[in-house]
Amino acid sequence: MSGLGVSSKRPASGSTTAVAASKQLPAAVVERVTAAIDESRDELIALVQDLVRIPSENPKLSGIADGGEARVQDRVEAALAAAGFSIDRWDAEPGRPDLVGTLKGTGGGPSLAVNGHIDVVPAGDPETWPYDPFGATIVDGMIWGRGASDMKGNVGAMIHAAVILQRLGIRLKGDLYVESVIDEETGGPGTRSTIERGYRPDFAIVTEPTGLVIYPVEGGLEWLRVTVTGVSGHSARRYRSVHAGGQGHAVNALEKGAKILAAVQDLERAWAVRKVHPLLPAGITTINPGVMAAGSGGGANGMPNIMTAVSNMPDYCSLELSLKYLPNESTADVRAEFEEYIHRVAQTDEWLREHPPTIEWGLRGVAFPPADTSPDHPGVQAIASGLTALGMPVEVGGFLAVTDIAWFAEAGIPAVIFGPAEGLGAHGADERVEIN
């Protein structure tokens, strides 16, 4: 999953609800499929090990030109092609391929995409790992290595599940798309590229590790920058600017930025009371201040050209924020609400009234739209039926991080986040996936 949010693999207390499946799967089909999966256990383990052993660090995070994603896609292609899937492979970015394997349906049924990403975050120093980060070592019933839980284990599982259906001759009415994509970890074009290429399923499952909790909703996420300008001056003459009738003309942009920051924190507290969602914990609509910088003049990257010193009154201040909003809110409405609030705050300050703050949205490309699939959607009910057939509880919750479900939602495609495993050690030096 993307490092741009925080996920509880089991949601916070009160943020899940049990649902009943609307249909029952034929017992004979369930028995055939589960028996075939049990019998091919070693095949699945070997596939996951192969995927983990191929380094595919996201080049945007690792700084290397070739993160190895193409070599992972070679292995994915081999598994799907051998089972009779038609293969479509293209570069979502130069040298970074997406891959979709298609199993055509018999007709008359809805299409389904199962989607997983094969880029991983950098492994870091191998000496900090208990085992080789790209060794896929099996210890204590777990496969250890970078990407094992996030999310090559589940990519292997979704491929293997699709292959088993084909192997058993179980024909689906609708088309099945197995999507292996790049660049999820930085919110890149992987899944969006599949949609732009024409893969628009009736329903999609993003197979991140959720512990088999169904997540049909996910809030939106925006990174933004609020910039305030002032008039520079020397601190020795500050006394001329801080009392009525003073002759100074300096305006400390850092102080004006602090006023904006305090107001943003007030807004965050108000949202925590007013904005609620039945599948998400209270207070999820956070506005986190991550960076505040002041100095002389604004550079192209939003930072001051010269960082301030205590002897100066800076004329430039930027405040970078991470803003989360509810699944049932629109991006446009949230942006408008925030901008109107900042405008009202500026009206209370003589300087800011005439020199209003500017707001830049989608900072560094981070702008994830929300996802809000109904728990009553037939796709959610179908997953519930599968869990019920296996004698497992059905839980529906709200996801706290951001994932590629955002891009399906943006395209108007109903989708959920759902997959086995618990995401053990994801992004850490103890990443592993349980063999169960």
pLDDT tens-digit map of 313-366: 899 999 999 999 999 999 999 999 999 999 999 999 999 999 999 999 999 989
Segments of the chain assigned to CATH 3.30.70.360: 220-365
Q: H-type helices in 40-117, by residue range?
A: 41-53, 59-62, 69-82
Would you call 189 helix, strand, or coil by DSSP?
coil
Q: How sure is the predictor about 6, in pLDDT bands with cuts at 50, 70 and 90?
A: very low
Share of the chain above pLDDT 70, in %: 93
Question: Residue 221 forms beta bridges with which residues?
Answer: 324, 368
* 245 pLDDT above the threshold of 60: no
- Residues marked active site are found at 119, 184
d(CA 232, CA 313): 5
What does the alpha-carbon distance between residue 118 and residue 156 come to, in Å, rounded to a whole number?
A: 10
Fold of 16-218+370-434: Aminopeptidase (3.40.630)
Dump pLDDT digits (tens) for 398-428. Answer: 999 999 999 999 999 999 999 999 989 999 9
Say yes or no to pLDDT of 145 above 50: yes
Arithmetic mean of pLDDT, 73-102: 98
Mean predicted confidence (pLDDT) in 387-398: 95
Question: pLDDT digit string (tens) for 18-45?
Answer: 665 556 788 899 999 999 999 999 999 9
Residues of each domain in the chain carrying CATH 3.40.630.10: 16-218+370-434
Residue 146: pLDDT band with limits 50, 70, 90: very high
CA dihedral sign of residues 130, 135, 138, 143: positive
Please say if the pLDDT value at position 7 is more than 70.
Answer: no
Q: How far is CA 233 from CA 230, 294, 356, in A?
A: 10, 13, 20
Burial class from Cβ neighbours inside 10 Å (0-12, 13-18, 19+) for residue 301 reads: exposed
pLDDT band per the 50, 70, 90 thresholds, residue 308: confident
Fold adopted by 220-365 = Alpha-Beta Plaits (3.30.70)
The residues, any chain, with a CB within 8 Å of residue 87's CB and separated by 6 or more, are 77, 80, 81, 99, 100, 101
Q: How confident is the model at residue 237 (pLDDT cuts 50, 70, 90)?
A: confident
pLDDT confidence tier of residue 302, bands split at 50, 70 and 90: confident
Residue 62's pLDDT band, with cuts at 50, 70 and 90, is: confident
Whole-angstrom distance, CA of residue 24 vs CA of residue 37: 20
Q: Helix, strand, coil % (nearest 5) of the chain?
A: 35, 25, 40
Give the mean model confidence (pLDDT) for residues 108-113: 96
